[in-house]
Structure 1
Amino acid sequence: MTTPIWMNGPRAQSAATPAAMLRQLLPLLASLLLAGCATPGPAHLYTVAPRAPEIRDRALDGRDVARDVPSFLEPGDTVTGFAYDPFTDHFFLRLAPGNQIRVVDRPARAIKRAFTIDPSPGPGGDLALNPRDGHLFLLDATRAELVETSRLGAIIGRIPLQGVATPPLGVAFDARQDSLLVLLEDGLTLHRFSLTGLNTGKFQLARHVRAAIAFDSDARELYAPLADADAEIGVFDEQGQLMRTLPAPDTPTFLDVGPHAFLRVF
């Protein structure tokens, strides 16, 4: 059997190491998982209050026993944004004062890492995550823009939100359509944006919601704490109709939704 040319030489041998091969496969694995080729478990709802000692975790089908995870908040810490990465099985907590991100490993129930976003993207606000590349999208409470960073907090750039004049209240990521859902300051109107900030549509919710949203890309449902009801989370379809409500363990609350990681690589 003839050895392919690309496998000859020290560079090729280095490129063929298991670690290098895994790095090359990661984008493909992420795409396969998000495309539905893997079979993840049931969707889970994750919630955390601004100063709660734990992140609450429960399966939405009611079959799994809830497994709360420590938030590792220190005295003076306040959660201002929250996201879950189903690819790495990590929680991302945006903390004030400052703009620190604390990453918590869900299965290990331990801090994975922490970093400060510098330069600061502005006052704290909601947070969303793209599981395909790990990029974070943060609200700036003073501008109608999103700040995009890498998984480790390096600022990639700002995304002006076309047609939006005031700072939004919430942001969520739609992994199926590779787009962003943004809740406007009225707590009712949601716009959909491309990753460059192009406004591609909007819809109105049937009930006012608070400043945190999450989107289930598989079920095509939006989750948000209801503003006119204590300790309730509304589940809305893509037309904004209220489908059902769920009890919220804390009020106010930050939340995200998604299956536990099928494959962990970080």
Structure 2
Amino acid sequence: MNGPRAQSAATPAAMLRQLLPLLASLLLAGCATPGPAHLYTVAPRAPEIRDRALDGRDVARDVPSFLEPGDTVTGFAYDPFTDHFFLRLAPGNQIRVVDRPARAIKRAFTIDPSPGPGGDLALNPRDGHLFLLDATRAELVETSRLGAIIGRIPLQGVATPPLGVAFDARQDSLLVLLEDGLTLHRFSLTGLNTGKFQLARHVRAAIAFDSDARELYAPLADADAEIGVFDEQGQLMRTLPAPDTPTFLDVGPHAFLRVF
């Protein structure tokens, strides 16, 4: 009598994987409060991921990147739900996940088939899906947090491969930087073009979006070691020193603080 029931019972690990998207949605919907905002940066071959507390009060602690000889970062994202960094490595199909509090490699995987040559990377904290640029096409590749291909997203109205991508968790949409380093388009998760704006300064090929403060971060192309902070109309609000040039970056809450 126990045989069929035992075979159909889900393992604790499988149940947790099924619950992760729901828990993330609850957290983002108001069942948790975000921690203090932090800016995370990493250079293509840097030994550390830099951590900066944007309020100037919270503890910031750099984390090893665990890059090996020959490794080059081409994209970078932070997941506040799992407190993990995702580093995309050249040629573009390698992902290394670093556990921030444990200061250790959580896992590494290869995306197969390859999403194309390396480029920027964004992450949806609700379900952990990754959005990767393909340096040869005007589209994004969407994968699970474990690297399983979900599909390609053609970017409506974009003719050439973009430079950067960021995720807006509040509006559940994607911000994409075009090759001119000035124009940003907003897209739905299916690739529908819903608007655009121009930045006041040229930026380099990496962007990040603070969904709570409604601000976009990007390394300035016309200044050494400076990160520009722009509003949603593209106006430059302020600049911050960049620890390395060039740099990849992400911004957002320093993990979530549970309140229930």
Q: Please state which band the TM-score falls in when normalised by the shorter chain.
A: over 0.9
C-alpha displacement of 1:33 = 1.7
Closer/same/farther in 2, CA of residues 15 and 56 from structure 1, 3 Å limit:
same
Question: Aligned partners of 1:86 and 1:45: how far apart in 2?
Answer: 12
Relative distance call for 1:58 and 1:143 in structure 2 (3 A) is same
Query: In structure 2, do the counterparts of structure 1 residues 208 and 98 end up closer, same or farther at CA, with 3 Å as the change threshold?
Result: closer
CA distance 1:24–1:127, change in 2 (3 Å): closer
1:264 and 1:79 mapped to 2: Cα distance?
32
Per the alignment, do residues 17 and 37 of structure 1 end up closer, same or farther by CA in structure 2, a change over 3 Å counting? same
SS of the aligned residue for 1:263 comes to strand
Alignment of 1:102-113 (within 5 A): 102-113=96-107
Q: CA deviation at 1:167?
A: 0.3
In 2, Cα distance between the equivalents of 1:265 and 1:37?
Answer: 7
Determine if contact 1:88/1:263 at 8 Å carries over to the other structure: no
The SS at the match of 2:258 is: coil
**Partner Cα distance (2:7, 2:164) in 1:** 47
Shift of 1:31: 1.4
Q: Given that residues 48 and 64 in structure 2 are in contact (C-alpha distance below 8 angstroms), is that contact kept between their aligned partners in structure 1?
A: yes
Match of 1:157 in 2: 151
SS in 2 for 1:39: strand
Residue 9 of structure 1, CA deviation: 12
Contact 1:77–1:97 at 8 Å: present in 2 too?
no
The residue aligned with 1:182 is: 176
Of 216-225 and 58-67, the range deviating more from structure 2: 58-67
Structure exhibiting the larger radius of gyration computed from Cα positions: 1
Q: How far apart are residue 99 of structure 1 and its match?
A: 1.8
Deviation at 1:115, TM superposition (A): 0.6
Total equivalences in the alignment: 260
SS of equivalent residue, structure 1 residue 24: helix
Distance 1:73 1:13, change over 3 A: closer
Counterparts of 1:194 and 1:88 in 2: how far apart (Å)? 24
Q: Distance in 2 between matches of 1:136 and 1:17?
A: 25
C-alpha contact (below 8 Å) 1:104/1:111 kept by paired residues: yes
Give the match's secondary structure for 1:151. Answer: coil
> What is the Cα deviation at residue 217 of structure 1?
0.6
- 2:165 is aligned, of 161, 171, 178, to 171
| Alpha-carbon offset, residue 137 of structure 1 | 0.4
2:82 maps to 1:88: yes
Contact 2:33/2:258 (8 A) holds in 1:
no
Deviation at 1:38, TM superposition (A): 1.2
RMSD: 2.9
Q: Distance in 2 between matches of 1:122 and 1:265?
A: 41
Q: What is the TM-score with the length of structure 2 in the denominator?
A: 0.93
- Would the alpha carbon gap of residues 199 and 63 (structure 1) be closer, same or farther in structure 2, given more than 3 Å must change? same
**1:16 to partner: Cα distance:** 9.2
**Structure 1 residues 166, 70: CA separation in 2 closer, same or farther (over 3 Å shift)?**
same
Q: Calculate percent identity across the aligned residue pairs.
A: 100
Residue 243 of structure 1: CA displacement?
Answer: 0.8
CA distance in 2, matches of 1:248, 1:112: 27
- Residue aligning to 1:9: 3
Further displaced range: 118-127 or 26-35: 26-35
> Which stretches in structure 2 are left out of the alignment for 5+ residues?
none
Deviation at 1:37? 3.1
TM-superposed CA distance for 1:263, in Å, is 6.1
SS at 1:92 equivalent: strand
Q: 1:14·1:20 contact (CA, 8 Å) conserved in 2? A: no
CA distance in 2, matches of 1:61, 1:32: 25
Q: Contact 1:15/1:21 (CA < 8 Å) preserved in 2?
A: no
1:24 is aligned to 18
After TM superposition, give the deviation of residue 264 of structure 1 in Å.
9.6
Q: Counterparts of 2:71 and 2:35 in 1: how far apart (Å)?
A: 32
Query: SS of the counterpart of 1:187?
Result: coil
